[in-house]
Each structure stands twice: as C-alpha cells, then as structure tokens.
Chain A
C-alpha cells in the first residue's frame, strides 16, 4: 500500500523555510536553463522565418553572406533570364537584384554604434516578401533618397524613426515609413531603392539576386543550371536554408554556453535538494519506524520520499518556467557573428523547451532525493523506533 500524497505535501509545508530555499535554488537553475534555450529558439525562429521556401538566393560562390558577396550586372542579367522563374501580377519575372551593405549607426539608448544592414530593393523585392507590411508611413518613391526602416531598427537606432533622417554614403536619407516583417530578420534592416543605393555607394554590381521559383520542386534543376554555367561564379540556396545557416553559429554558441552553465549550476541545486532530503529523513526517523511497523513496505517509504523530492523539483521547475515565460516580452538585439550585422530577436517559449525544463527539474529532484530516500527505506524498524 502506498502512502497518501497529502502526507508528502504536508511534510514540505511543515518546513516552509527549508522548502522555499530549496525550491528557490532549483527555480533559478531552471530559469537560466529555460531562458537560454528560449534565446536560441528565438534566434533560430527569427532567421528561419525570414526565408521563404520557394525563394532562391543567389550569391557569389564561397561567400557566406550577402554582404560578402558580389554579383555583377551581367551575371545578374543571366540569372534573371533563366527559365523557371515565377512571374508576378504585372507579368514581369519575380526577380530582385539587390545591393546589400552594412553601415554603422548609433544606438538610440547608448549611442554606441552597431552595424545595420541596408538593402536596396526593387518593386519585385516587395512582392517576394509578402510578410513585409508598412505599419507607419508609406513606401519610398523609386528614384529618391527615401528609405523605410524595419521595426527593430526604427525603435533601436538614432535617426531611423519615422520622418527622421539617416546619413550614410555622403547623403541624407529620409525615413518615410516603418515596416513590420512579422518578427523576421528583415525587421533589422533598412530598405531603399536599389539603383539609388548602387549610385550612392558607388557599386558596379549587386550583392545578391533573389527570385521566386515557378515550381518549388524544381529547385535542384535551377541550382544545377546556375552552378554549371561557366559564365556565372555563383551559387544558389533556398532562402530558408540561407537564413537558417546564418543563425547556426550564434544559436549554437548560446545553446552550448547555456547548457553547460545550467548543468554546472544544477549540481548546486541537487546538493541543496540532497541536504534538505537527508535532513527530512533524519528528522523523521521515528516516524519512518512507526510507518514500517504499521505495515508500510520499504518500497512505499522509498516512493514517498522520492515523491517528496520530485515534488520539490517540479515546483521549482514550474516557478522557474513561469519566470522564464515572462521573458517572452523582452527582445534582444545583438550582433550576429556570421553576418556582422545587428539582429533583433525575442525569447521564444516552445513546447519542447517547457518539456525539457520540467524534465530537467524533475531529474534534479530525483538525483537529489534518491540517496536520502534509499537511506529511509533501508532503516530497520527496531532501530528507527529506538532512535525516536
């Protein structure tokens, strides 16, 4: 016969301070564990969502980012004339030839400069990214020094807000609108007219060519056509793959660092649980003896103490998770090592992270409680009763 659950709960309630301190320690560990995973998930989600599966990014062979890449006008035209590119509503192919550069802008709060992506786009560029919506102001008129800024940039950088001006390439550019790209990487960019950008930055060529596949499944054929063409020194990637690759290093770094920190921290919390449980067993020696004399089996005692410890872990995990879920309101802006550009992303809580965090908390409770519970279960009835 098993000991009732309320017996377990009441034991924890009876020693409030100790229970609270142990749970607090575990909650902090779970909080760190969960926030780190949320950060990595947020970054991945932002960059993965940036790409669309039917879009293809063409950059120079060997270049890992658009900023490093260069595609001259002739090569861009060859790509543009390839068969298999979807046509837009206006009957023209959905191809955008884009110059992409980095400029350094001061942050609104600290005034410290950081690198921001400036992208020159064409009308097709907007059609290729339907997730981009103007939330304030209007689109820039082609052929003018007007730009629009992504939401994160407009909020985070000086001069990038609506009706403000940013100065780069010896010119003042008026921000005529702010766009929302649905929490994708484009939120961390400034967009303007492609030809204007080329002139201002004195570039002869583009950075990348982006097009929509008429038939999404024909990607491999298109890629072969581009990579086998001797006139082109380019490579093609699906846009989803392209952006996912860019999140790899930073999200791996965050995950590795965070997991190793959490594991080391958890040793501290496990020790806390162990101390609590040993004390709990020691204080109840007589009680355990009585229970055994009443007929409760060793297994029942073991289960009761393990449950108590698991409950400590569970409560700690739940509190830690609750704290971590509040972090979803916070968004982080930092430099992505791979693109050398600023990227804003928020903490994202996924069901996987909830499960992992609770599992982690229960594991801490189990490891911390097993030895003390085993000691309680192994007690001889006579000795235990005499100790009381």
Chain B
C-alpha cells in the first residue's frame, strides 16, 4: 500500500506541472484520435462496399461512358444477377461550395442491389412513379433543410442546364457505415433530356453496378465481363466495388500519408513535453533517491518508482483524452457536414490511443529512471536541483 501512495503523493507535489502535462497529453491523444478517424473516414466508401457487387466502367478512364446496350450483354454473362446503369452528375446546388455526390441511377435495379439504403415503402413508390423524382440521404436533407416534396435545382457542369428535381424520399442507412449524404435521381430522366438536347450523348452510362450470385466468383465473373467487350470500341474494366472505391483512395494517397504522418508527430511532441516533465522531476529529487538508496532500496526500485509515476500520469491523461475524442469527433462531423459522410471513432483507434499513452509514459520515464537507478549515493546527496 505504501508504494502506490508514494507514487500518488509524488505526482501531486508540483500540482501545476502535473496539471499542465496532463492537459498536454489529453490534447495530444484526442487530436491523434481525430486524425486517425479522418483517415478512417477516407476509407469509409471501401469499407461499406459489398463483395457481391462489381463495378464495370470504361477501361480508358471514368470520364468515358459505356453504351447502354452493354447492360443487356453483361446480364447474359453467367453468374450475374442484375445490372444497373449509373451516371455521376456533378451538379452544383446554388453555389460551388455546397458539394455533395449526385448519381443518376436505374432506380429499381440499383436500390434492390443496395439493401443498406433504407427507404419507407410509400416514399419508394412515390420515387419510382415520378420521373423527375429524387431521394436524398438523411444527413444531406438535414444539412440543407429539405423536406419530402421540395423542389431541388441543380446546375449541371457535365450535363448543361439547370435541372429541377422533386424530393420524393429521404433514406436512412442500415448502419453507421452507410453514406447518408448522396443524392439519387432517375437515370432515365437524365437520358431522355440529354437525348433531346445532344443526341450523340444519349444512351450512355457512366458505369454499371453489377450484382453477382456468388461473391466467391467475383474474379471469374469480372474477367468474363471484360472478355465480352475486349477489342470493342469501348473496352471495359470490371472490378469489385471495394477495389473500385480503393482506387479513389489511392489517387489521394499522398494526402492520406501526410495526415497519418502528422498524427504520429503529435505523439512525438507530447513525448518531448512529458519527457521534459519527468526529467525535471527526477532531477529535483536526486537527493531523495540517494537517501532511499542509502536506506537500502535498490536502483531498480527507484527506477520503478519513476516509471510508475510517469505511466500513471500518461495513462490517466490518455483515458481522459480518449473520452474527449468522442464529443470532439461528433462536433467535427457536424462542422464538416457532408464532406465526411461517415465519421465515427473506431475501436481500433481507441486501442491505438491507449497504446500511444502507454508508450509516451514509458519513453518519458526511460532516461530519468536509468539515471536515477545509476546515481551514486554520494553524488545524489550532493546534487543541487
């Protein structure tokens, strides 16, 4: 009982210093957690993808469309259940700053492939029966205060003109990994309008989402699809939805790597601060340590005392930092709106934060503990802080 009490008393000898150090660790651990969560959010699309879905697009790049009649041919490939054409719309809502993804979809087929998009039956019916209808995610609707029945104008950047949609439904996600900030409308409506204004661009799909019967066959089915269109005017590239999403992540990898690197820099900073605290603390107490040694305590015991103090402080502050991460993440998600559609602190992040606080405590104690353990009794007693 004596030893823990001694450690605790030691911690509170310099209340201000302990408080400041703890505050620093709380901030560092919390910001480490937020940065990790930002990186996780980047991968959200890939994590939410299903292994039963493939994406077929032009092999040249995403900006090249595929002819609509490919849908029929893809459907004939063995192992394929359903196909839906999808187009990226890239419209502007009022001003460029209001960015959110908009997709033209072949609605019945697409929504059947995405059971995680939850839509009330009445709203689903209303959406299917209205050609100019659209549905939006709950987060998106909340951000702009949309209600079912509202007219939503979008200025096309890829498809010229102003397009007005009637909001027929607001969807929820089956769980928190589902992106609830997307806007969907009918591909047929887009196609009809484009055919009238620019016939050459009609009957073209940006990509096809394909549902396969057996996820284990994804590789074979993908190859079969691509083989169907090999040496045609528009060759295709088929990959799993996850690989497709990851290819977007890979394009911005440099930024991601930077954020990850920076999340470790904050740990280094706090390690320096904490090591400084422990070094000062130990230096002030060399006399005491020498006295303890003179009384018969071993060097290892003294080193253990310093390590325990350092670990205790780091872990206590670390846990407080973890606790702070959750409200901070919620506030950050609120402020970012639809930019990070999926934003939550994962268990892995919490485990890493705990590990980081442990490491900070251990590293900070290393040099002072080693020095104190080796200090000669005579030198220690003579030392002046």
Contact = CB atoms under 8 A, between A and B. Distances in A.
Interface string A339-352: 01010000000000
B250 A114 contact: yes
B3 interface: no
B32 to A, nearest CB: 10
Nearest to B272: A25
Contacts of A62: 155-157, 160-161
Nearest to A114: B251
Interface stretch (B22-30, B75-83, B143-151, B209-217): B22-30
B27 A268 contact: yes
Contact of B20 (A60, A274, A332, A335): A274
Interface residues of A, number: 57
A168 interface: yes
B235 A22 contact: no
A103 interface: yes
Given A63-B157, A102-B61, A265-B265, A275 B250 contact: no
A272 B62 contact: no
A51 B277 CA distance: 53
B251 A268 contact: no
A168 B20 contact: no
Nearest to A269: B269
Interface residues of B, number: 51
Contacts of B233: 170, 202
B61 A268 contact: no
Interface in B39-65: 60-64
Contacts of A11: none
Given A265-B31, A268-B27, A268-B28, A22 B276 contact: yes
Contacts, number: 143
A87 interface: no
B17 A68 contact: no
Contacts of A278: 16-17, 20
Interface of A: 17-18, 21-22, 24-25, 28-29, 31-32, 39, 60-64, 67-68, 101-104, 110, 112-115, 168-170, 201-202, 204, 233, 254, 257, 261, 264-265, 267-269, 271-272, 274-276, 278-279, 283, 332-335, 337, 340, 342
27 contacts: A17-B367, A21-B273, A22-B273, A25-B276, A61-B160, A63-B157, A64-B96, A68-B157, A101-B63, A102-B62, A104-B61, A104-B62, A110-B253, A112-B253, A113-B250, A114-B250, A115-B251, A202-B233, A204-B200, A254-B255, A264-B27, A269-B273, A271-B273, A272-B269, A278-B16, A279-B17, A337-B252
Given A268-B24, A268-B266, 18 more contacts: A28-B268, A60-B160, A63-B158, A110-B253, A112-B253, A114-B250, A115-B62, A169-B60, A170-B231, A170-B235, A201-B60, A261-B262, A265-B269, A268-B27, A268-B270, A269-B273, A276-B280, A332-B254
Interface of B: 16-17, 20-21, 23-24, 27-28, 31, 35, 60-64, 90, 96, 155-158, 160-161, 200, 231, 233, 235, 247, 250-255, 258-259, 262, 265-266, 268-270, 272-273, 275-277, 279-280, 367, 385
